[in-house]
Amino acid sequence: MDSLHKVESKPNTRRRYPLASSVHANHPLSATSDPVLHRFARLAYLSDSDMNIRPRTILTGALSFVPGVMPLYRRFVFRPHSAPAETSYGIWLKHLSAAHASGLVGVPASVVELGPGLSLGAGMAALICGVERYVALDVLPFAQMEEVLPTFDRLVELFKARAALNPQGFPYYPGALDTSGWPSILPHEHLEPLLRERRIAELRKEVEAFVGGGSSKRIAYQAPWGMDAATARSADFVFSHTVLQHVRSVPEVWGQIAEMLRPGGISTHQIHFYNHGTSPVWNGHWAYPEWLWRLALGRKEFLINREPISSHLDAARAAGLGSVDIRIDNAVPTRCSGWRRDATAASR
């Protein structure tokens, strides 16, 4: 079941944004950071015979303190997922559709993606759609540069074919697609000039320059993540796909997002609040006592931060961003939030 809660931004207004009731009813820990609820939930989980804790999670965390283990862990155990062109195509169109639902008009000129992982495909899809500049920021240099051009070429084919998207698949597109499975926000008259051979050839040269030199006029990639790749107040649109559950400091990242966005800019983020393999049950990661979770995390660059949705709401508000909408899918514990930078707050 989907719930949509919409709150309009208001200049210089401090409000406590409520969440959809279905979150409170079905996933209480994803809707609040109340320490009492956390305590009772942990007691309930810990009363189970298996504690809902996976020993492998503890073991890999403990071993990370042993000298020389972390390079082996990065090479053989920790591997980001590579998204094929078809998945990147869907991810970009999902976030563009979500941004339009939150007030974006047209295609943004300047886009920043947080945590693209192995594939820069979503950024290539953005450029094909008419984005003028794409900046990718990541915690480590995961991107496979040898795959960028083949992914770009495949994406061009998908856009030319207006390949249909599955509204019930992953990503999930409730209400975003027309009867042919295409986002109604990208009509034929918008795409047709963007897909002309001359423009695609020029854009491909930009991609080649980026792959060969690490940057180009229209594309930038920085890992480790730094703010200097994205000029303050320069981004029309900042997005991430299943990334913000991994960051170490939620307030710091939301502060950086606010710093990147120009006044009136939009930010959309799909956040997974499930266990990421740390427990047999979807929200069992909240069952770990704090000391045991610190051991499980060890010296890994990131695992998951266990922050509930309320932490993201609080951090976004504190950074000066106004809540536009929160979409909640109770069947698969994912969140996609749209945020608009309040023009008055941005000028403070």
What band does 39 get if pLDDT is binned at 50, 70 and 90? low
pTM of the model as a whole: 0.80
What would the mean pLDDT of 223-248 be, rounded to a whole number? Answer: 85
Q: How far apart are CA 103 and CA 97, in angstroms?
A: 10
pLDDT band at 42 (very low <50, low <70, confident <90, very high): low
User: 60 or 133, which is more confident?
Assistant: 133
Q: 327 vs 42, which has greater pLDDT?
A: 327
- How high is the pLDDT of residue 38? 55
Cβ-proximal residues to 255 (8 Å cutoff; 6+ apart), any chain: 315, 318, 319
> Which residue spans within the chain are E strands per DSSP?
2-6, 110-114, 133-137, 219-222, 235-241, 261-272, 321-329, 334-341
CA–CA gap between residue 33 and residue 28 (Å, rounded): 9
Supply 267's token pair.
């930010």
Q: SS3 for 67?
A: coil
Q: Decide: residue 261, CB within 10 A, 0-12 exposed, 13-18 middle, 19+ buried.
A: buried
- Domains of the chain, first to last: 80-273+308-346 (3.40.50.150)
Over residues 322-337, the pLDDT tens digits come to 865 777 664 444 444 4
Mean pLDDT, range 65-74, rounded to an integer: 82
pLDDT digits (tens, 9 = 90+) for 183-210: 888 988 999 999 999 999 999 999 999 9
Share of the chain above pLDDT 70, in %: 72
